[in-house]
Structure 1
Amino acid sequence: MKQQTEILFRQIAMLRMIPRKGGITARQIHQLLADDGFSVDLRTVQRDLKTFTESGLFPLDVDESSKPHQWYWQTDAVIEIPTMSGSEALAFVMLDRHLQGVLPPNLLSSIQPHVQHAEKLLQQHKHQRLARWSEKIAMLPRAMRFLPAKVDHEIHANVIRALLDEKQLEVVYQPRAEGARQYVLNPLSLVVQDGVMFLVASANDYNDPLHFVLHRFKSAEVSTKAARIPPDFSLKQHLQSQAFDFPLQEKLIRLVAIFDRYGIYHLHETPLSEDQSLEAYAEGLEKLTATVMDTLALRRWLLGFGERVEILEPLELREEFAHSAAEMHAKYNPAESAAWGRAPCA
């Protein structure tokens, strides 16, 4: 019985692979079946295709003038194949795992039957290889990992709905160091960065896109008024401007720094900029030159190297790091701890 079930699933999968336009060969179907976890030889695939065509049960045609032969659905064929392939099942499971909180709740709810069916399908013998794929993939942040902030479910749902329906949001928002404020927001996009969700939106009568952290919303109600969306706003361009790296000025800077060679080996593979250059400086050291945005993220990245980096240019950045190093030295130097109003650590 199990063998008959697997044959049926395989044949349904084959029918789903046949296109309405163009055509597909038996060898191509055989490869797709293998990708989906089916173990079957090419001769069996060829026999099944011949049976499909000659039985008259399916409106299929075969182009025998091509070598090898190609199968396709007839132009006016009306037929639905009631299942999903192993690849489609895997896509549903991965989508459910990695896009929670980003897709609209009603959309997530509507695809749950498909997700549940996909999970069952992947657990069946024929798809065990694909089922194991989700256990082999992970996405991790490069920086320190933190527990995700708690976002009110109703607020999250309203933010998503306003973004989807292109409606204004009437919110009470708690900035980091100020009292709660009321805003009328025009939602533009949603960005997830290291587990934190940001709503990109313009506020009140202004057009400049700002970033609002979802877990700082005290309330959020969807307005009946249409959101004012600037025709020239592009999320792609907004991200390319490094807006989420917290720019400190609009102009680019020429960064020149001396690094421990092994500390920046990854920059040979993943450069900071298009014009980046790395050259030997002294034993065990390399000099980096790159044109970059002057951002808070850049400073945090450089500070992470500690004593293994020396900033040469720009001079303002070098002086800033020299001042930070002096302050750190004072904090860790027992003789100078009193200057910070505390006794030295034992």
Structure 2
Amino acid sequence: MRRPSGWVWPFVISLLCTLWANSYVVMFFFYPVYLRKVGLEPWWIGLAMGSFYGATAVVRPTGGVALERMGWRRTAFLSFALMFLSSLGVFGARGPVGVLASRVLGGFGYGLALVALTAYQSVVVPARARGGSFAWVSVCYVLPQVVFLPLVEISFARDFHLPYRASFSIFSLLFLVFSLRLREVGEVELEEGVGLGDWGGFGELLRTEGLFVYLFASFLFGAINGTVLMFTSTLASERGLSSSLFLSLNALVAMSARVFGNSLLNRANRFLWLGPSMGAMVAALGLLPAASTNLQMAAVSALYGLGMAVSFPFVLAMASDLVPLRLRPKASSLAWVFMDLSWLLVPLLVGAVSSSWGVSSAFRLVFVSSIPSLAVLELLLVSLARRYATR
């Protein structure tokens, strides 16, 4: 085994792995548009899009365990194989069965990759650098939206789909290339000594103080974010507004805040700032149905981006803040399951309400439901902050 190295370079490589995995999944934002162009029925399109999140939810619990048992490189290669097979289906599939299979395989591969990456980062990043480091992780989630989606939109406007169809394979291969350069956990100097046989079990994890708060925060964040990302385009189209303006601007604001405010995020008390930052997201969720111009949509997008800039990296960092190192891979897996669960339930709720009262009413219902949920979360977070301040 190689001599243990510092954490910075492995973390940088893990960021690039995160970037390419999320570039792969961001391409699916335009998949419904592409499938309509090739003549797939709307019912099949909806099923294909939803199946991805079902697949990620199924595989998430195995991501942390795979990192523990198989190591990073074997886990990454399995993730790559699933994503690459999915990309071949995206390139060639036109029928509903092939499209559905491609989405399911992609969900398995992406879900496994992201849980393993989050677990890896939660293990190797020291406490002094968590806020800023996970802010950089969050940048890698939104950067593909800013860079690649406008290019896809341009190519679609010209009915030139070949680069789009090939992009899934390209991003899968880039993920593999950088994954093979990433050191195993045992080859990195850690804050706490842990060997590959020292990982704890789920029973011990469930007894960890603060775990419920972490899972509750993950679920609530996912419910708010899922509503906005999945249904803002529908809300905007009903009013003749630009949905791409909202998606691109909030990603740009979030990315800029994370880059230029990185040192502040490192110093901030994550327990005390997570609630207010999610409050900004909830406020934007409530304001979206009232936006009647693109200027108003842009203002709400900026507010949402500021909330996202803080809340997402702080949710990701909670596993490291609350859970001993030997339990972090499993904690990350469990948190992603709760996020995926919210992404599965939100479309059912919004779809049911929208069919009778419209998508604006669905947004208002999620907004009203989020207020007491956020109040409870804030009380729990303040209590955690006080307990950890006395240690």
| TM-score computed with the length of structure 1 as normaliser | 0.22
**Larger RCO (CA within 8 A; separation ≥ 6):** 2
The structure in which a higher percent of residues are helix is 2
Larger Rg: 1
| TM-score computed with the length of structure 2 as normaliser | 0.20
